[in-house]
C-alpha cells in the first residue's frame, strides 16, 4: 500500500508541470494513447489461398533439375493441380527511443496438411532457400522473414542493419490492396537480403526525396568448415563474400491537381563473382564447378494514385538488366549458355487499379496487371504466391485480373485469374547450359481470404 | 531503494508515453496537411482520439488508403521500408 502511495505521489508530483499545461480532455486522450502505444506493438495477417492451375506445354523439350532428375515434356502435354495454402505474418515493432526503431516479422507459409509427400522433401537447406524463408511454401516452421533496426543519426540520416524488407516490393501491393510491402521493386530482385543501408531523407515544398545506399554481402562458404574459403575444382579459392550493393533514389509528391500522389523509385543493383554451385562435399561430378554469375540491374518504378480525383491508380515498372556467366558446371556450361555469356534482358510490368466509388462496395478494387519480358531476362521472385510464374517468365506475356472485396476493416476477399507464358529456358534447372526454346503456358483461378489483425 | 526505483519507472513511463502520443498525433496532422492541403486547425479537428479515432486508424491501417472526412490519406508500412 505504501509503495502504491509513493508511486502515485511521485507521478502526481512529477507531472504537475505537464498537467497544468494540458486540459483534462488532452490528459485523458494522452492516457488512452499511452495504453495503445508502448515500445512494442504487434500486428499481423493470415491468408488462406486456393489456386487451381493448368499448365500446357505446346512444344516438346527435356531439361534436368539441379539434383539430376530428367524432366521430359511432350508437345500438347497438359497438367493441372490444386493448391490449398496458408500464409501468416506476425509483425512486431519496437521504438525504444526517437532514434532507434526495430521491425521484425515472423512468417510461415505452408500447404495444408501434406500428409503424403510422395517421397519428396521441402527445400530446407537448398542453396537459395534463405532468400525466401517464411514466404516459400514449406512446413510449419516459423522464420524471421525480416528483422532490422533503423538508427537515426540525425533527422535526415538513418542507418539500417539486419534482415531487410526487400521482398514483395512494388508493384505487388497493387493486388493486395496494401501499402507498399517491400523496399526493392520486384524487378530488382525478389528475395530477402541481409545487409545494411544508409538513407538520407528530406523534403522541400511538399517534394519528398530519399537517397539510399545498401550493402548486402552474399556468403558462399562450406558452413561446416568456417575457418577457410572453399575451393572449386580448378583449385581456386571461392570468395567468401560477394559484394552485392545497390543505390536507390525515391521521390514522392502528394496533393496535386491531377493526382493524389506520385511515387517514383530508381534502383541500381550489382553483384559479381557469385559461385552458387561449388560444393566440396558433393561427389566429384556434382562438385565440378567453376561458374561465376554477375548481375547488373537498373529499375525504374512509377506509381500514381487517385488520378483525376478518382479511384484510378497506375503503376509502371521497368527493368534494364544484364547478366554475365563464366566458367562451367558439370561440363554443361554456365549461366544462360554453354560458354561465357553476356546477355541483356529487359522486362516491364504495368498495373491498373480502380477503387470503386460506391460506398456499398467498401472501396472494392478491380485490378489488371500485364507483364512483358525478353528471352534472356533474369527474373527472380522466390516469394511468389502465384503458381503460374507470373513474374518470372522469359520471353512471354503474362496478365492478371482480380477483384479485391473488403468485407470490413480486417477482412478482405479476393478472386483472380492469371495467365503466364514462358518462351525460353536452359537445360539445367532453367538457368544453366544449353538454351532451349519452349512454349509453356500456365493459367490459374484463385481465391483468397485475408485477415489483418 | 526499491520504492525510489518504482517511482522512477512510473514517472519515466508516463513521460515517455506523452512523448509517443505527441508523435502519433503530429504525424497524423502533418499527413493531413501535406496530402490534403488542410490548415492546421482543420487537420487538428480531424485528429480524433480514442481506439476508433482517426489517429489510430491511420497508424494501424492495413489497406492502401484511409479516408477521414473529405481527405484520403496514403497508408504507410514502416516495417516495409528501409530507413523509415
Measured between its terminal Cα atoms, the distance across chain A in Å is 38
Which residue from B17, B64, B82 is facing A164, i.e. has the nearest CB? B82
A405 touching chain B per CB within 8 A: no
Q: Is A207 exposed, middle or buried (0-12, 13-18, 19+ CB in 10 A)?
A: exposed
Q: Which helix (H) or strand (E) holds B3?
A: helix B2-36
Helix runs in A330-439, H state only: none
Residues of chain B with Cβ-Cβ distance to A33 below 8 Å are 17, 20-21, 24-25, 49, 55
Q: Which of A324, A314, A247 is nearest to A292 (CA)?
A: A324
Of residues A288 and A409, the one with the higher pLDDT is A409
Q: Which helix (H) or strand (E) holds A349?
A: strand A341-355
- What is the reported pLDDT for A89? 95
| Angstrom distance (rounded) from CA A130 to CA A223 | 14
- 8 Å CB contact between A429 and A66: yes
What DSSP state is assigned to residue A178?
S
Asked if A165 lies within 8 A of B81 by C-beta distance, the reply is: yes
Please report which confidence band the pLDDT of residue A335 belongs to, taking 50, 70 and 90 as the band edges. Answer: very high
B82 touching chain A per CB within 8 A: yes
pLDDT at A453 over 60: yes
| Angstrom distance (rounded) from CA A208 to CA A166 | 21
- What is the reported pLDDT for B9? 42
Mark B55-71 as b/e (b = at least 16 C-beta within 10 Å): bbbbbbbbbbbbebeeb
- Find the residue in B nearest to A96 (Cα): B16
- What is the reported pLDDT for A230? 86
β-strand pairing of B65-68 with B71-74: antiparallel
- 8 Å CB contact between A220 and A238: yes
- What is the reported pLDDT for A235? 80
Q: What is the mean pLDDT of residues A7-36?
A: 63
Asked if B80 lies within 8 A of A160 by C-beta distance, the reply is: no
List, as one string, the DSSP characters of A129-145: GGGTTTTS-BSS--EEE
Q: Which of A213, A184, A217 is nearest to A197 (CA)?
A: A213
**Rg, Å, chain B Cα set:** 16
Q: Which of A135, A141, A38 is nearest to A93 (CA)?
A: A38
Domain ranges, residue A407: 49-79+150-452
- What is the reported pLDDT for A284? 57
β-strand pairing of A432-452 with A61-64: unpaired
- Find the residue in A nearest to B6 (Cα): A7
Whether residue A31 lies inside any domain: the answer is no
Average pLDDT, chain A: 90
| Angstrom distance (rounded) from CA A90 to CA B7 | 34
pLDDT 10s digits, A152-209: 999 999 999 999 999 999 999 999 999 999 999 999 999 999 999 999 999 998 899 9
What DSSP state is assigned to residue A382?
T
* C-alpha of A75 from chain center: 34
Give the A window 289-348 contacts with B, CB below 8 Å: 305-306, 313
Asked if A183 lies within 8 A of B35 by C-beta distance, the reply is: no
Whether residue A61 lies inside any domain: the answer is yes
pLDDT at A103 over 70: yes
Q: What is the mean pLDDT of residues A81-88?
A: 97
Measured between its terminal Cα atoms, the distance across chain B in Å is 40
- What is the reported pLDDT for B33? 93
SS3 B27: helix
Which residue from B6, B36, B60 is facing A43, i.e. has the nearest CB? B60
- How many domains are there within chain A? 1
Residues of chain B with Cβ-Cβ distance to A305 below 8 Å are 64-65, 74
- Find the residue in A nearest to B9 (Cα): A7
Please report which confidence band the pLDDT of residue B59 belongs to, taking 50, 70 and 90 as the band edges. Answer: confident
A37 touching chain B per CB within 8 A: yes
Q: Which of B83, B31, B77 is nearest to A200 (CA)?
A: B83
- Find the residue in A nearest to B22 (Cα): A30
- What is the reported pLDDT for B7? 52
pLDDT at A75 over 90: yes
For chain B, how are helix, strand and coil distributed in percent, rounded to 5?
60, 10, 30
What DSSP state is assigned to residue A184?
S
Which residue from A6, A103, A164 is facing B78, i.e. has the nearest CB? A103
Region of poorest pLDDT, from A80-94, A125-139, A191-205, A298-312 = A125-139
pLDDT at A417 over 70: yes
Whether residue A8 lies inside any domain: the answer is no
- 8 Å CB contact between A189 and A205: no
pLDDT 10s digits, B36-56: 999 999 999 999 988 889 998
pLDDT 10s digits, A261-304: 999 999 999 999 998 888 877 765 556 788 999 999 999 999 99
Of residues A130 and A126, the one with the higher pLDDT is A130
Beta bridge partners of A46: A88, A451
- What is the reported pLDDT for A186? 97
Residues of chain B with Cβ-Cβ distance to A192 below 8 Å are none
Q: Which of A36, A107, A150 to mutate to test the interface with B (most CBs of B within 10 A)?
A: A36
pLDDT 10s digits, B17-30: 333 445 788 889 99
- What is the reported pLDDT for B28? 93
| Angstrom distance (rounded) from CA A222 to CA A238 | 10
Residue A146: cis peptide before it, omega within 30 degrees of 0: no
Output the domain CATH number for residue A334.
Answer: 2.40.160
Q: Which of B3, B81, B84 to mutate to test the interface with A (most CBs of A within 10 A)?
A: B81
pLDDT at B6 over 60: no
- What is the reported pLDDT for A203? 94
Which residue from B3, B24, B80 is facing A180, i.e. has the nearest CB? B80
A152 touching chain B per CB within 8 A: yes
Which residue in this structure is represented by grid cell 539445367?
A: A428
Domain boundaries, chain B: 2-80
Asked if A201 lies within 8 A of B56 by C-beta distance, the reply is: no
- What is the reported pLDDT for B13? 40
- 8 Å CB contact between A164 and A183: yes
pLDDT at A359 over 90: no
Q: What is the mean pLDDT of residues A372-384?
A: 94
Residue A98 — φ and ψ, nearest 5°? -70, -20
| Angstrom distance (rounded) from CA B25 to CA B49 | 9
- What is the reported pLDDT for A202? 97
| Angstrom distance (rounded) from CA A144 to CA A323 | 30
Asked if A212 lies within 8 A of B82 by C-beta distance, the reply is: yes
Average pLDDT, chain B: 78
Q: What is the mean pLDDT of residues A31-57?
A: 87
- What is the reported pLDDT for A36? 63
Q: What is the mean pLDDT of residues A7-29?
A: 61
- What is the reported pLDDT for A21? 56
Amino acid at each position: 500500500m505504501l509503495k502504491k502511495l509513493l508511486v502515485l505521489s511521485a507521478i502526481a508530483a512529477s507531472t504537475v508541470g505537464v498537467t497544468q499545461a494540458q486540459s483534462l480532455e488532452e490528459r485523458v486522450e494522452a492516457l488512452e494513447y499511452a495504453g495503445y502505444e508502448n515500445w512494442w506493438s504487434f500486428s499481423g495477417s493470415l491468408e488462406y489461398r486456393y489456386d487451381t492451375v493448368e499448365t500446357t506445354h505446346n512444344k516438346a523439350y527435356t531439361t534436368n533439375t539441379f539434383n539430376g532428375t530428367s524432366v521430359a515434356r511432350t508437345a500438347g502435354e497438359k497438367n493441372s493441380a490444386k493448391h490449398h495454402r496458408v500464409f501468416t505474418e506476425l509483425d512486431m515493432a519496437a521504438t525504444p527511443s526517437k532514434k532507434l526503431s526495430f521491425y521484425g516479422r515472423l512468417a510461415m507459409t505452408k500447404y495444408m496438411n501434406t500428409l503424403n509427400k510422395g517421397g519428396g522433401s521441402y527445400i530446407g537447406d537448398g542453396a537459395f532457400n534463405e532468400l525466401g524463408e517464411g514466404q516459400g511454401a514449406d512446413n510449419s516452421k516459423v522464420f524471421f522473414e525480416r528483422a532490422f533496426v533503423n538508427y537515426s543519426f540525425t533527422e535526415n540520416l538513418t542507418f539500417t542493419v539486419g534482415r531487410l524488407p526487400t521482398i514483395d516490393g512494388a508493384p505487388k501491393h497493387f493486388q493486395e490492396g496494401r501499402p507498399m510491402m517491400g523496399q526493392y521493386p520486384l524487378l530488382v530482385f525478389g528475395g530477402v537480403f541481409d545487409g545494411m543501408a544508409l538513407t538520407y531523407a528530406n523534403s522541400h515544398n511538399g517534394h519528398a526525396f530519399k537517397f539510399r545506399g545498401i550493402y548486402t554481402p552474399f556468403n558462399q562458404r562450406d558452413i561446416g568448415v568456417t575457418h577457410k574459403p572453399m575451393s572449386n575444382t580448378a583449385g581456386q579459392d571461392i570468395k567468401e563474400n560477394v559484394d552485392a550493393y545497390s543505390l536507390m533514389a525515391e521521390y514522392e509528391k502528394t496533393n496535386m491537381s491531377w493526382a493524389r500522389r506520385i511515387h517514383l523509385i530508381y534502383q541500381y543493383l550489382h553483384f559479381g563473382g557469385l559461385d552458387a554451385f561449388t560444393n566440396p562435399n558433393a561427389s566429384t561430378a556434382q562438385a565440378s564447378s567453376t561458374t561465376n554469375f554477375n548481375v547488373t540491374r537498373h529499375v525504374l518504378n512509377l506509381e500514381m494514385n487517385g488520378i483525376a480525383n478518382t479511384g484510378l491508380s497506375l503503376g509502371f515498372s521497368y527493368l534494364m538488366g544484364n547478366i554475365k556467366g563464366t566458367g562451367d558446371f558439370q561440363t554443361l556450361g554456365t549461366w544462360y549458355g554453354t560458354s561465357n555469356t553476356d546477355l541483356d534482358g529487359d522486362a516491364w510490368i504495368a498495373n491498373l487499379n480502380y477503387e470503386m466509388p460506391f460506398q456499398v462496395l467498401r472501396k472494392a478494387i478491380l485490378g489488371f496487371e500485364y507483364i512483358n519480358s525478353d528471352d534472356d531476362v533474369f527474373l527472380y521472385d522466390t516469394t511468389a504466391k502465384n503458381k503460374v510464374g507470373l513474374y518470372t517468365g522469359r520471353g512471354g506475356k503474362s496478365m492478371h485480373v482480380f477483384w479485391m472485396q473488403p468485407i470490413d476493416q480486417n477482412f478482405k476477399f479476393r478472386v483472380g485469374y492469371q495467365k503466364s507464358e514462358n518462351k525460353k529456358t536452359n537445360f539445367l534447372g532453367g538457368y544453366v547450359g544449353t538454351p532451349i526454346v519452349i512454349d509453356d503456358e500456365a493459367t490459374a483461378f484463385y481465391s483468397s481470404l485475408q485477415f489483418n489483425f | 531503494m526499491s520504492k525510489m526505483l518504482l517511482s522512477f519507472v512510473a514517472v519515466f513511463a508516463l513521460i515517455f508515453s506523452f512523448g509517443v502520443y505527441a508523435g502519433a498525433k503530429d504525424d497524423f496532422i502533418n499527413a493531413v496537411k501535406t496530402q490534403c492541403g488542410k490548415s492546421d486547425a482543420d487537420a487538428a479537428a480531424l485528429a480524433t482520439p480514442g481506439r476508433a479515432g482517426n489517429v489510430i486508424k491511420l497508424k494501424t491501417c492495413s489497406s492502401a488508403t484511409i479516408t477521414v472526412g473529405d481527405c484520403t490519406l496514403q497508408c504507410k508500412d514502416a516495417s516495409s521500408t528501409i530507413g523509415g
